[in-house]
Amino acid sequence: MSNSTFDLIVIGAGPGGYHAAIRASQLGLKVAVVEKDDGSGNGGIGGVCLNWGCIPSKSLLKNAEIVNHLKHAEDWGITVENWSADIGKAIDRSRKVSKTLTGGIEFLFRKNKIELIKGKAKLLSSTEILVDEKTKYIAKNIIIATGARPRSLPTPGLEIDGKNIITSRNALEMKDKPKSIAIIGASAIGCEFAYYFNAYGVKVRLFEMENHIVPKEDEDISIELEKQFKNQGIEFATSAKISKVIHGKELSIEYMVEGKNEVFNCEKVLLGVGVQPNSDDIGLENLGIKTYGPGFIEVDEYMKTNINGIYAVGDINGKLPLAHVAFDQGVVAAETIAGENVEGIDDYSNMPKCTYCQPQIASIGLSEKEAREKGLSIKVGKVPFQVAGKSVAIGEPNGFTKVITDEDSGEIIGAHIIGPEATELIAEIGMLKMLEGTNLELQKLTHAHPTLSEAVKEAGASVNNEAIHF
């Protein structure tokens, strides 16, 4: 057995893990990262995000966007004859993108003198781990960053087999497009894949048990996306309860909407109904680490568990399963371990949420409904994207920007954008919110013309009915 000793061992090299490792190394700690890759895609440097999630999916969505532009080439005065879109080549491009970025993380590990240990780690104590059941390592602190994997449903016939009932992981390497697909769950993952498959001519139907698609977004956002998806030919069934899936020559989904029984036949079913933590078989029980729900690890605002010296960051703690949340949690944990003066994370409403279909969706803070349910006195500014002339110039005038402010102070308490480059535009409001800014700063700041960001400025002005173009 090895007797290697470190200040910090990070279990998992995904977004939270590699951020924690690099930041800890910058602060002078001796760091090692343990990472397994069992071939399932739930591993590898960069984690699910770089290998089978955020990055390759955004690559495919860009392909889909280009395909949709080509479908409307005549609108731009361009004639393209006999063109075709190869979904297999789109998959190949996404894999190259992923490989490039994971290679970059390996370089950063070497640059920061972080030891990479390949294998499966198991906790033996609060200071010891065992890798591949044979090699022991010792650390003063341990960060668990083992992530999560797609969740299945108990519905008969919906057992994940990777062939007929698939996950996003399977979809990201599917080179032969199906004729039709049902997507169960219409949150970010479901809507992104609906847009992607629809662009390539696949018949798509989304199924969502809530009243609207993207149900965690502001209701106005959901309604706008439903309108635009209808225009794109994407079908969806909301308030839908699936009873079973029958496997035959096709898959038959039996479901109920408003008391009426319906059937949808398709070639594939993609499950996009959330995640379950990778907390099984890593030795939590050896230490008595507290968990909740299906196995998420309990942490405080500094990512500390109930066991001294053990931390948990990213999807494994279940706070908000987004890569950028894991980034920040990893840094907080590393700085806490290094003895820095750290501001913990206890309010996840200030984390931006993004959906990368077209139109894009981005939000931060409270929705209008949430604000009213909290009894807050609010004012709302909402303007269509058409107020920004650039949106019309680039052929993407649909959608809107909406800001929610405190009626007395004007402080921004929520913002919701649907339209071109929404996922980039939300950063401005995020910074303003962090600085406890108001709609007045948003309105008075000079925004370059013509830019899409003018829609954000006008939303701020609209709070007091002072928008110039609306």
In 3D space, the residue among 141, 183, 101 whose CA is nearest the CA of residue 313 turns out to be: 141
Tokens, residue 203? 């018949």
DSSP code of 411?
Answer: B
What burial class does residue 285 get, using C-beta atoms within 10 Å of its C-beta: 0-12 exposed, 13-18 middle, 19+ buried?
A: exposed
Residue labelled with tokens 């590990």: 109
Residue type, 284: L
Catalytic residue among 416, 447, 449, 469: 449
CA distances from 88 to 85, 94, 175, 270 (A): 9, 10, 4, 18
CA dist., res. 140 & res. 80, Å (int): 62
In 3D space, the residue among 315, 284, 310, 295 whose CA is nearest the CA of residue 123 turns out to be: 284
* 34 in Cβ contact with 119 (< 8 Å): yes
Give the three-state DSSP class for 231: helix
Tokens, residue 209? 């048990």
Check if 212 is active-site.
no
- DSSP secondary structure, 127-168, as one string: SEEEETTTEEEEEEEEEE---EEE----STT----SSSEE-H
| Contacts with 339 (C-beta within 8 Å, 6 or more apart), sequence order | none
Termini Cα distance of the chain: 71
DSSP code of 362?
Answer: E
Q: How many residues does the chain have?
A: 470
CA dist., res. 177 & res. 437, Å (int): 47
Which residues are annotated as catalytic?
Answer: 449
